[in-house]
Amino acid sequence: MATEIEQQAMRRALEAARATSRTLPNPRVGCVLLDAGGLELGVGAHEGAGSPHAEVRALEAAHEAGHDVRGATAVVTLEPCDHTGRTGPCTRALLEAGVARVVHGQSDPDPAAAGGAGTLAAHGVDVEGGVLAEEAEALNVEWTHAVVTGRPFVTWKYAATLDGLSAAPDGSSKWITSAEARRDVQRFRAEADAIMAGTGAVLSDDPRLSVRSEDDLPLPYALQPLRVVVGETTIPSYYRVFDRVAPTLLIQSRDPEVVLERLVQDGIRHVWLEGGPRLAGAFWNAGLIDRVIGYIAPAMLGSGRAALEGEATTLADMRPLEITDLTTVGPDIRIVAIPGRAPREEMP
């Protein structure tokens, strides 16, 4: 059973992983190395595809500090990988370093990379898994979902008035929510690897669909999620979605399954879905929205366009939401929720 020191090290590994920028399509991973007495030798975190994994970073940090890692314990948020991709397997790095014990949180759900615990154990390493597993799994909800289901995780974000309207009768929608809410959205956008909108929303609002800093400056191109525009309507080349700030992909289809299939082929794990209500409705009706983030302004319109265009005809079509977070952002309310199944879907 993991010691209290090892559990504390796991919490530090989780913090190190959370502090990284977007690592998708790879998972966030943190690692802490301990000596036999529980002294911290090195900390590492994975920073994105092609960069060293967390275990290697921690070993490098320990060596740079002049520590001998032979006989050490590696505390890792995710089971060490056992395959060669753009980098070598972490199991090999740990074995070559002489690590004697490995404590990990989440088991690797990726068949291509799993098996690291077994390989380490077969070479005489003491292995314990499932330590703070719930927290470790929460670190990579979107990545895990994509690996297990074979399709990207979809987060739908919308902004609406208290009476559920996202645009006035004349089509105007800027700005329903506050500047604080819009800055908050940028933080969430940066955690996805694709930002998607329909052609209707692009034509009406001319959005950037990119991530900007607190100073309203675009993040570097390499840190920008892929911009995805879905629909069959032509978008003029002078629209901002085609600027050089971020890459843009056009998908001429209205079928959500086709769209997600194309994106998973491009390695996309987490889609941030914005505007408009018709595209969101198509994904909602298909049961392909995995998280809802709504920003609710303390205001009423009375008439206008609803935030979602679904196909419900009776209360039996109403789909419940499990609220996982409720907070104020400036004058607005931010609701984070997970969709459940409609009562009709639960009938035998």
Of residues 338, 270, 326, 256, the one with CA closest to residue 295: 326
Roughly how many angstroms between the first and final C-alpha of the chain, as a whole number? Answer: 43
Task: Read off φ and ψ for residue 284, nearest 5 degrees.
Answer: -65, -45
| Contact (CB, 8 A) for 116 and 78 | no
- DSSP states along 77-95: EEPPP-S-SSS--HHHHHH
Q: Which residue in the list 47, 55, 142, 274 is annotated as catalytic?
A: 55
Q: Is 55 a catalytic residue?
A: yes
Q: Which residues pair with 294 in a beta bridge?
A: 158, 335
Count Cα atoms within 13 angstroms, Cβ side, for 114.
10
**41 to each of 11, 44, 62, 124, how far by Cα in Å?**
15, 10, 5, 22
3-state secondary structure of 126: strand
Question: How large is the C-alpha radius of gyration of the chain?
Answer: 23
Position 194: which residue type?
A
Residues annotated as part of the active site:
55
